[in-house]
């Protein structure tokens, strides 16, 4: 069971107990949110591809793959709304990246590090990176408890 706790000396905190699968899904969701927030909008294409692979979304109704059409629209929107080229994005510490994105990133790194320790990932994996603590919230604390 993975436990993730957020604490601040003068405020309450939440404790969440997760199964290994739940911990991976929470980490995946926080990572996805962080990536979208820094302009890595191509991650949406990966979700569409996954939906087409598992059959929850048809690949095409008119011969043009949905992900191709969506990718063109995302590229155009990214350039017009963010001023970013197709394959570029902001870094997580960029001033244009909002605090919620940075807090989500911080929490995902804490959770990822707990998962990496439990699952014994290679020691030089990004899953072992120390949190940068970029958001304004106190850094979350993570731990693992074996039932």
107 and 76 inside one domain: no
Its domain, for residue 80, covers 42-88
Q: Any idea which residue has 């940068």 for tokens?
A: 132
Give me the number of domains the chain comprises.
Answer: 2
Per-residue model confidence as pLDDT tens digits over 92-138:
999 999 999 999 999 999 999 999 888 888 888 777 778 889 999 99
Sequence-ordered list of residues with C-beta below 8 angstroms from that of 1, at least 6 positions apart, any chain: 17, 18, 19, 144, 145, 146, 147
116 and 127 inside one domain: yes
Note the pLDDT of residue 99.
97
Per-residue model confidence as pLDDT tens digits over 53-65:
888 877 766 655 6
Note the pLDDT of residue 97.
95
Instruction: State yes or no: pLDDT of 7 exceeds 60.
Output: no
């Amino acid at each position: 069971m993975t436990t993730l706790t957020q604490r601040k000396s003068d405020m309450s905190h939440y404790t969440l107990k997760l199964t290994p699968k739940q911990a991976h899904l929470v980490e995946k969701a926080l990572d996805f949110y962080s990536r979208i927030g820094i302009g890595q909008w191509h991650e949406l294409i990966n979700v569409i591809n996954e939906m087409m692979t598992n059959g929850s979304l048809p690949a095409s109704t008119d011969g043009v793959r949905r992900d191709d059409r969506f990718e063109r629209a995302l590229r155009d929107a990214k350039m017009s709304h963010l001023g970013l080229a197709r394959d570029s994005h902001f870094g997580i510490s960029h001033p244009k990246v909002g605090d919620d994105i940075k807090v989500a990133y911080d929490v995902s790194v804490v959770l990822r590090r707990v998962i990496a320790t439990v699952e014994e990932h290679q020691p030089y994996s990004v899953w072992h990176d120390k949190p940068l603590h970029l958001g304004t919230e106190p850094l979350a604390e993570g731990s693992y408890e074996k039932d």
